[in-house]
Amino acid sequence: MLRPNFITLTQNSSATLQARMHTILVLITLLFGGVFRFFDLGSESYWVDEIIMLRLAGDNFAALMAHLIESGRPPVYVLAAHVWVQTFGTSETVARALSALFATAALITMYAVGRELFSKKVALVSTFLMALSGYQIFYAQELRYYSLFVLFTLLSFFAFVRFLRQKNLITALFFSFTTVLMFYTHTYGLFVIAAQGLAFLLFRPRERRFIAFWGLSQVLIAAAIAPIFLKMFVMVENQGGPMHWMSMPRPHEPIITAYRYLFGYDARLTPTELAVGLAFLLLGMLGFIRWKGLQHWLGSVRSSIPALREQLHQKQALTITGLWLLLPLLLPFALSFVLGPMFLGRYSIGATPALYLLLAVGIVSVRNIVPLGITMGTVAVLMIPGLYSYYTHDMKEQWRDVAEYIEGHEQPGDMIVFTRSLNNMIPASLRWYYQGDLPQCVMRDQGAGDDPAIYQDLERCTRGSQRFWLIERHRSTAYTRYVTTEFLGKRHTTFVKIDEQQFTDVTVYLLRTPAFGFDTQEVVSH
């Protein structure tokens, strides 16, 4: 008979080995997640929104602060980008590395939150899902707020859960600090704060001291975010809606957004990819059942039911995570139909960790039926095609390619015409890369269907030029599509199309036109 101390030693050795394997898997997950976020950062040119951030970050500090105060723009990421680009430069790889760093830090924090809410296994699986998510990688490689918003949302929830358990002043202050930083990174943090507030109301203990600490944290948060919140309220009153430039969300928009959280910004699983994933799962299960034995596996199925119930009994953690997922998605969606459009999928990116956590809870709960290796392998098989598509196809507006194309074919006397300005940011996007000296002109947004006005506007912009480059950003108004497809393509033969080139989200037309005389007062020079 084995001695008790020998049995204990064997159990301890097995536990130590499992702990080491778990640590190795965590490190591998973090390593690959970091590599995915830094890989090929500079392959695509900046797009319009990144150019906006670059122009802000490149400004002097006094001018930047004046803009932040005037506009009410959340300042945390902008200030970080200002320090970063002033220190390291503005190349695509260097500038976007800031977001990639924040995104990698978010992976580490994801593991900490999963462990704090549930368990080490749930933490590992949720971090794995986040590491492979094409949605996370897309925004980790963009000079915008989103990766930092995810990081501060995770830190805020980590502090929130710690506060619910420890109930002391230090955790209350830590929660207040991280939550304020989250809101000052992106105003959608307000919906995350709402989720935390509702969770507290559902699970608040009765200790007066704890309630007092919570009240203090809420006073600190409210006082800190009041300046931007009031600025937002004034802008809503003046502009007739929270985000008047948006369109109303489609009824199924939250579902599409949740799908993108996992598989990517523009990923669509094909029947072939689904079939391959299902085949991997079935073959893995058949091999596992054969190795374990059918009767033994059926016993595992029966014994897993109590384990699943035990997971479901983690009522507080599951409710907190569910509110974290649902409120930042559904609140702005519902309010869009009351106050005006305010729902945009990428703005709700702070809710993504909650989805990964809930999926991880389900995966871990059935691990005795479907081993973690098979489940995570199946997830990887389903997610890798989206990653491959992301790394091999341009996803952003390719203004660098547009500039190179024009520079390679331009002639003296040509004109560059933009169908829309977007507050001068579309011309600014080209100018970031364009090294030529052709004059530029922006057409006025007349509204679709007004032939004489459109013709006069084109005449105004092209006066004195035999050729002009017409640049259309695909996300512009219906007017721009009308100009290029209806007016130029079908109704008038005055303008002769010489060439047309399609770039990602941008089309460039080279057209010939009669000389109308040149009026420099109506042309915006480069």
Instruction: Express as a percent the part of the chain with pLDDT over 70.
Output: 85
Render pLDDT for 103-119 as a digit per residue (tens, 0 to 9): 999 999 999 999 999 99
- Reply yes or no on whether the pLDDT at 520 is more than 50: no
- Reply yes or no on whether the pLDDT at 192 is more than 80: yes
Q: Which residues contact 212 (CB under 8 A, 6 or more apart)?
A: none
Predicted local distance difference test score (pLDDT) of residue 4 = 56
Model-level pTM? 0.90
Render pLDDT for 217-249 as a digit per residue (tens, 0 to 9): 999 999 999 888 777 766 655 555 556 667 788
Domain chopping of the chain, boundaries: 91-392, 399-522
Predicted local distance difference test score (pLDDT) of residue 465 = 86
Render pLDDT for 342-351 as a digit per residue (tens, 0 to 9): 899 999 999 9
- Secondary structure of 321-358 in the HEC alphabet? HHHHHHHHHHHHHHHHHHHCCCCCHHHHHHHHHHHHHH
pLDDT band for 420, please (50, 70, 90 cuts): confident
Among 9-18, 62-71, 437-446, 451-460, the range of highest mean pLDDT = 62-71
User: Checking DSSP bridges between strand 440-442 and strand 415-418, what pairing results, if any?
Assistant: parallel
Pull the structure tokens for residue 203.
């699970």
- Reply yes or no on whether the pLDDT at 255 is more than 60: yes
Render pLDDT for 49-94 as a digit per residue (tens, 0 to 9): 999 999 999 989 999 999 888 888 899 999 999 999 999 999 999 9
- Reply yes or no on whether the pLDDT at 482 is more than 90: no
- Reply yes or no on whether the pLDDT at 13 is more than 80: no
pLDDT band for 410, please (50, 70, 90 cuts): very high
Cβ atoms of 439 and 467 closer than 8 Å: no
Predicted local distance difference test score (pLDDT) of residue 492 = 56
Average pLDDT for the chain: 86
Pull the structure tokens for residue 164.
């619910």
Closest to 451 (Cα-Cα) out of 509, 494, 497: 494
- Reply yes or no on whether the pLDDT at 523 is more than 90: no
- Reply yes or no on whether the pLDDT at 11 is more than 70: no
Q: Which residues contact 433 (CB under 8 A, 6 or more apart)?
A: 45, 399, 400, 402, 403, 404
Q: How far apart are CA 394 and CA 42, in angstroms?
A: 11
Predicted local distance difference test score (pLDDT) of residue 522 = 37
Q: Name the least confident of 84-93, 101-110, 155-164, 254-263.
A: 254-263
Predicted local distance difference test score (pLDDT) of residue 422 = 72
Interval 310-334 mean pLDDT = 88
Cβ atoms of 56 and 29 closer than 8 Å: no
Render pLDDT for 485-505 as a digit per residue (tens, 0 to 9): 666 665 555 677 888 899 988
- Reply yes or no on whether the pLDDT at 278 is more than 50: yes
pLDDT band for 423, please (50, 70, 90 cuts): confident
Among 194-203, 439-448, 491-500, the range of highest mean pLDDT = 194-203
Predicted local distance difference test score (pLDDT) of residue 246 = 76
Q: Name the least confident of 178-187, 315-324, 514-523.
A: 514-523
Residue range 399-522, CATH number: 3.40.50
Pull the structure tokens for residue 476.
């512009």
- Reply yes or no on whether the pLDDT at 125 is more than 60: yes
Predicted local distance difference test score (pLDDT) of residue 459 = 81
Q: Which residues pair with 375 in a beta bridge?
A: none
Predicted local distance difference test score (pLDDT) of residue 490 = 59
Of 455 and 256, the structure prediction assigns the larger pLDDT to: 256
